[in-house]
Amino acid sequence: MRGGLALGLLALAACQSPSMTSAIPPPPPGNTPTIPEVIAASKPDEWRRIDPENTLYMDFPNGRVIIELAPHFAPNHVANIRALSREGFWTNGAVTRVQDNFVTQWAQAAEPARPPKVGVEKLTAEFTLPRSVVTKFDVLPDPDTFASEVGFVDGFSAARDKDSVWLTHCYGMVGAGRDADENSGGGTELYVIIGQSPRALDRQLTVVGRVVQGMEIMSAFPRGTGDAGFYKTPAEHQHYADIKLAADVPAAQRTNLETLRTDSASFQTLVNSRRWRKDDFYKHPVGRIGLCNITVPVREAK
């Protein structure tokens, strides 16, 4: 079996540029470090404080869900989401759709929805960025089914080809719902990926951020029994109090978070410890990891 695995690795290595495969050398022999061990050994400057201007709080009865927005990839959508939050567009809103192994989606609870006052309903799609404007891309060495290169841009899972870079629909990533028209989304309805990552959505919807706390809340709502997992009745709605920008919340009520920088040595150690995971339970290192199998560490800032 090991021989066969090695062979598979060689076959797949042929798909990778030498610089990519050699970017991350194998770890030393013996057990690989655990994620808590990697975090404990990390340096303070390997963490990035999450900006309150790019942080959304969604407070449910059973806890706070926190989203980090991605203004670099979706500047117009993020600006609109800030405006919608500040005008109270989502006050007393609800999760209205939970489609198993796909998405949890939320918006206003009222039907028909109140139109935005300051924000807007529709924006031009922000699916990709020109590769030339994304100067830092922390590439992963292993093959991906959907893209020729995958990795992270400042903590967000991403992919790129020779022309463009885009955020990927990995577990926990947040996007803007739209109608058939690609320019019909704007952030008034948002969704988060809750199952096997549906990467076929990449470059077909605007990804606006990632959940950095509370995925265990977003993923455990009862699944909707209507078309596409929409709840059939308002009684099924899962209500949240509001969606507030952290910057608009009194400092004492904020949850201050920091995320491990994906360009740090500790993150590289973490990725490699997952690729070659070996411990008392995992006895056969695979030597590979999928983009969407990596959760970038986030912790409360000291």
**In angstroms, rounded to a whole number, what is the distance separating the alpha carbons of residues 269 and 279?**
15
- Shortest reach from residue 135's CB to a second copy, in Å: 18
Which residue from 123, 243, 289, 296 is in contact with a second copy, where contact means CB under 8 A?
289
- How far apart CA 286 and CA 302 sit, in angstroms, is 35
Give me the DSSP letters along 28-59. Answer: PSSPPPPHHHHHHH--GGGEEEPPGGGEEEEE
Whole-angstrom distance between the N-terminal and C-terminal Cα of the chain? 46
Q: Minimal distance in Å, beta carbon 9 to a second copy?
A: 9
Range 90-109, binding a second copy (CB under 8 A):
98, 100-101
Interface residues for a second copy in 124-143 (CB under 8 A)?
Answer: 127-128, 142-143
Q: How far apart are CA 262 and CA 250, in angstroms?
A: 29
Closest residue by Cα to residue 275 from 291, 286, 260: 286
As measured in angstroms, the least distance from the Cβ of 163 to a second copy is: 4
Does the footprint of a second copy cover residue 4 (CB under 8 A)? yes
Interface with a second copy by CB under 8 A: which range of 49-57, 243-251, 255-263, 287-295?
287-295
SS3 for 161-181, per residue? CCCEEEECCCCCEEEECCCCC
CB of 302 to a second copy, least distance (A): 23
Total residues found in the chain within this entry = 302
Answer for which of 198, 241, 242, 299 binds a second copy (CB under 8 A) is: 198
Residue 34 within binding range of a second copy, rule CB under 8 A: no
Longest dimension (CA), the chain: 63
Angstrom CA distances, 3 to 238, 280, 284, stand at 51, 21, 12
- Binding-site size, a second copy (CB under 8 A): 62
Taking CB under 8 A as the criterion, which residues in 162-181 touch a second copy? 162-164, 170-172, 180
Residues in contact with a second copy by the rule CB under 8 A: 1, 3-5, 7-8, 11-12, 14-15, 98, 100-101, 127-128, 142-148, 161-164, 170-172, 180, 182, 194-200, 202-204, 215-216, 219-223, 274, 277, 280-284, 286, 288-290, 292-293, 295
